[in-house]
Structure formats: structure tokens, C-alpha cells
Amino acid sequence: MQYLIRHPGRSFRVVLPALMFLIQATAACQNRVQINTDLAKDTISRNIYGHFSEHLGRCIYGGYYVGEGNTKIPNTRGIRNDVVDALRKLRIPNLRWPGGCFADTYHWKDGIGPGAKRPAIVNSWWGGVTEDNSFGTHEFLDLCEQLGAEPYITGNVGSGTVQDFAQWVQYTNSEGAGPMSALRKENGREKPWNVRFWGVGNEAWGCGGNMTAEYYANIYRTFATFIPASWKNGPLWRIASGAGSSDFHWTEVLMRDIPQGLIEGIALHHYAVDWNHKSSATGFTEAEYFETMRRALEMEDLVQRHAAIMDKYDPKKKIALVVDEWGGWYDVEPGTNPAFLYQQNTMRDAMIAGVTLNIFNNHCDRVRMANLAQTINVLQAVVLTEGERMIVTPTYHVMEMYTVHHDALLLPSSVRGGTYAVEGKSLPAVSVSASRDRSGATHISLVNIDPGHVQEVVIETRGAASSSVSGRILASGRLQDHNTFDDPSRVKPAEFAGARLDGTSLRVQLPPCSVVVLTLR
């Protein structure tokens, strides 16, 4: 594997082994990381690594679902086998569906029962296409079972009723002799699915109804009253439609006006995008990359400030912050439907994923669920499909590398040092998070967002000593590098040998534009 190292006036390529022996002057600046293993107390919930799949473009139809009668693409009850196999390697903890904006126009009873009797629906949000409703509640929950993921269903508040929402919960969870349980059994499912996560509408401030925070808080209270706080197999999560990025007033009102006994989570949506200039997914400039990363790193401030508001009303942190939409958003690929939001996925997206997941890990005391937008063929996808072919993206590889953090004990860390500068503006070059798994191994995820300089990192592991270190790296020669259907393995993880252990100190040479995950034992 080769890396492009740039210095003023010259550039050169080096292979990975040679890179590890570059002299210290190669690094733009030394970064110092302190990991406080003796201060660990919070667990990184695996649900931080959730995904989001909306009825949008080719995410559901042509992505997950090809239909039971399809003989060209191997499937199980219409769900693509290759997609399921790939996603199972990510150990997806939860999957959000059916939207997004689509959720507040979706009526779940249209998507149950015999396929021939299901009415068609016009997807007015995403391209005006007509869907036949062949993928509905049963198909989605079948998908979740195949993936080993918990379902996270967003209910229709914008154009639905309290009764419809309550009956959907009963349909999926009731074991008794009630009408919804009987209807489910009539449609071929004897046992309930026990769906735990329920979103009470989506983006109520926008496509979910253009509501004020005060109005939505009252609407939420009504809906949540008729959704039980627990079912036979445990408590449910009722997740309120939360703020868009920096709308701190929205969070304040929800925390102030919704009784704690009616709410288990508040959502937050934030995309790393300049809405006035999205840029090409693959043909972007370094200035555009810098702006994308600046907006991705805003997640740190957003989480801190929304969490501070929640702390004021909920000092015991009973209510979760659920970042159920995040990722990069660019111009669609040339020649594709603009409403389908299909974009390629490059090393820039790997950088977004790495730093964002580090932020979530480091704030796991409040962030206890998150959902990358979206899983297949839409926005920052981990999987792309084209007919019978399927590939995984750089973002996929980061998510797979970070599975070591699932349900691990957060080791608080701090970083100071190098910066990445463009046109007189600068950002922290290195991002980090660390955890200890149940076997006692320590895992450290490091990201160098600087595309032109090696970053030397010295890590002090306070409170513990290790005898061995191993690692994996995701890197490539250019920020714009990505996998294609003709070259599906251009960007993939490799073994990393650039870390040297000395007692409680670890010295690491981080290549430009790279994600590294180290394991200490």
C-alpha cells in the first residue's frame, strides 16, 4: 500500500514499511494523547453504531430488497443475501426505518397482508415514484432478524393518528388475544417481534409538520401517553423528534415541557454539509474537504451543548441523546436522479466516520444511540449496489474496524498538539477515542484528517501497562480514492506496524488521511 506525502515544494510516495521509519522531522507536529484507564466508568453502547434506511432512492428497493420472485440475485424472502452477509460483519446493533421524511407520510397498514392486496403509494418526498408496498413491517422485521439487529421504527406523527401509532406498537409487540395480535397472526407471524425503539415522528420542525417546539412537545405528550413505557419483555424507548444541528431552543423546550416518565430519548440530526455548496462526492478540492471536516467536527460542540441542556433537567442522565441522522451530504452522482441522493464514498467519508464515532464514544454517558445516514445507495452509504453487483465503501471499513468499541468500557482521553490548516484556517489534526473490552484488551482509534502530513502521536496510558501492540489501518494515496464496481478493493484495511510500545508510552506515526485502530494487551 502506498501513501502520498506532501511537503512544501515537493511530494513523494512511500510504501507502508518505509513510512514507519521516516525521521521525526517528517511529522508536522508531535501530538500528545493521555488515556486515563483509571478513570473509566461509562460504557460505549453498541447502539451508537446503528444505521438508517429510508424509503429513498435505491436504499430499500434495489438495495436491501429485490423481491421474492427474483432469480438473478440470491435472496432470502426477497432480501439480498450478499447485503446481509456484508452488514452482519458490521454487527449492526439497530436499524432505523421507514424514515426520515418518508415516515410521516407512511401508513403501516398499507404494508401488511398479501402483497397483491397492498395499495401502492406515491413517495412524494423522494422523486414522486410509486411504490407497491411490497416491503413493509413484516419484511423490515425479517431483515432485522437476518441481520441480528434491533428494529428502530419511526412512527407517523405528521399525517397519522395516535390510534394508528398505538396499534402499530400492539401489532409488533402484543402476545394477547387483542385485535392487533390476531391481525399479525392472520398475516403469518405467530410470535411478536418485541420492538423496543420507537421514534415519535421525524424532524417535526421541518418535513414532519413544520411545528414549533412548543406545539410538538404537546403533540409528543399525547402520542407517548398511548405508547406503553414497557412491554412484557422489557421497557420501550420513546424517542422524541429532536433538534436540527444547533437549534438548542428545541432541546430546551422538550426537556422542560415533556415529563421524564414519558420520554427515553431525544434525537439530534446533523450533516457535515455546506447547504449552499455541497460539492462533488469525488471531485472535491482540498478547501471543500476542509469545510466538510469543519462541519463534521462541529458534532463535538453540538453534543456538548445539547447535553448541557439535558443535564440541567436530567442530571442523572436517564434520557439518551440519540443522533439518529449523521454523515456527509454531497451532490448526487452525474446522470442519477437528484431525488435519490446517490453519491460515491471516498476517504473523505472515512474521515467523517472516524472522527464522528470518536466523538460519540467520548460522550457515551449521554449519546447512547446513533444512526449513520444511510445504509445502502443513499448519502454516506456503507454498501453500494448495481444490479447483481455489490461493493462496500471506506465508511464500511471504518465501521467494521470500530466494532471493537461495542459495549466496551470508555477510557477517558485527551489530545493536544498538531493542527491541519488550509487558507489560514485550522482544525485539530488528530482525533482519538479508547476503550477496554471484556477480555481486558485496550483499543485506541486514531484519525489523522491531514491529507498532507504524517502526524506523530505519543500516547500515555495512565494507570496501565501493556506488553504488546497490534493494529489495522485504512488509508490511501488520495482523499478522493474510492471503491468502484470495477475496482472494489482499492480502499481496504491493512495491517499497521507504525506503533512502538515502551511501557505505558506508545509512539505512533499516523500517515496522512488515515484511520488506525490499535489493540494493546
Quote the pLDDT of residue 29. Answer: 53
- Same-domain pairing of 431 and 496: yes
Above 80 in pLDDT, residue 13? no
Q: Is the peptide bond before 98 cis (omega within 30 degrees of 0)?
A: yes
| Whether 323 contacts 368, CB under 8 Å | no
Question: What are the backbone dihedrals phi and psi of residue 471, each rounded to the nearest 5 degrees, phi first?
Answer: -165, 165
CB 94 within 8 A of CB 48: no
- For the record, the C-alpha cell of 9 comes out as 515544494
User: Residue 164 is inside which H or E element, if any?
Assistant: helix 162-173
Q: With H, G, I as helix, E, B as strand and everything else as coil, classify residue 221.
A: helix
pLDDT of residue 9: 39
| 392, 407, 422 - which closes a domain | 407
419 and 365 co-located in one domain: no
- Rounded to whole angstroms, how far apart are CA atoms 121 and 108? 11
The CATH number assigned to the domain holding 37 equals 2.60.40.1180
Give the CATH number of the domain where residue 386 resides.
Answer: 3.20.20.80
Mean pLDDT along residues 487-499: 97
Q: Round the average pLDDT of the chain to a whole number and report it.
A: 93
Same domain, 232 and 363: yes
Bridge partners of residue 56, in order along the sequence = none
Q: Which of 355, 422, 407, 344 is nearest to 378 (CA)?
A: 344
Q: Identify the pLDDT of residue 177.
A: 84
* Residues 334 and 456 grouped into a single domain: no
Is 465 in the same domain as 499?
Answer: yes
Query: Within this chain, do residues 85 and 232 fall inside the same structural domain, yes or no?
Result: yes
- Looking at residue 289, what DSSP letter applies? H
463 and 371 in one domain?
A: no
If you average pLDDT over residues 434-444, what whole number do you get?
96
Residue 463 has a pLDDT of 78
**What distance in Å separates the CA atoms of residue 75 and residue 67, rounded to the nearest whole number?**
8
pLDDT score of 465: 80
pLDDT at 10: 38
Which residues, at least 6 apart from 18, have a Cβ–Cβ distance to it below 8 Å?
none
pLDDT at 266: 98
Instruction: Please indicate, yes or no, whether residues 460 and 319 belong to a single structural domain of this protein.
Output: no
What is the count of structural domains for the chain? 2
Q: Is the peptide bond before 374 cis (omega within 30 degrees of 0)?
A: yes
- Residues 379 and 422 reside in one and the same domain: no
Choose the final residue of a domain: 374, 407, 440: 407
User: Would you tell me how many other CB atoms lie within 10 Å of the CB of residue 125?
Assistant: 18
- For the cut 60, the answer to whether the pLDDT of residue 18 exceeds it is no
The answer to whether the beta carbons of residues 189 and 158 sit under 8 Å apart is: no
pLDDT tens for 290-307 read 999 999 999 999 999 999
Residues 175 and 204 in one domain: yes
Weakest mean pLDDT among 79-88, 207-216, 264-273, 503-512:
503-512
pLDDT tens-digit series, residues 120-163: 999 999 999 999 999 999 999 999 999 999 999 999 999 999 99
Catalytic site residues? Answer: 203, 325
Element (H, E) at 303: helix 286-313
- Domain closes at, from 350, 378, 407: 407
Structural domain harbouring 20? 2-41+411-520
Burial class (CB in 10 A: 0-12, 13-18, 19+), 119: exposed
For the segment 32-62, what is each residue's pLDDT rounded down to a tens digit? 999 999 899 999 999 999 999 999 999 999 9
Please tell me the predicted confidence (pLDDT) of residue 398.
98
| 221 CB-contact burial (10 Å; exposed 0-12 / middle 13-18 / buried 19+) | middle
Same domain, 52 and 97: yes
pLDDT of 11 higher than 90: no
Same domain, 490 and 400: no
Q: Return the pLDDT at 233.
A: 73
Integer Cα distance of 95 and 75 in angstroms: 19
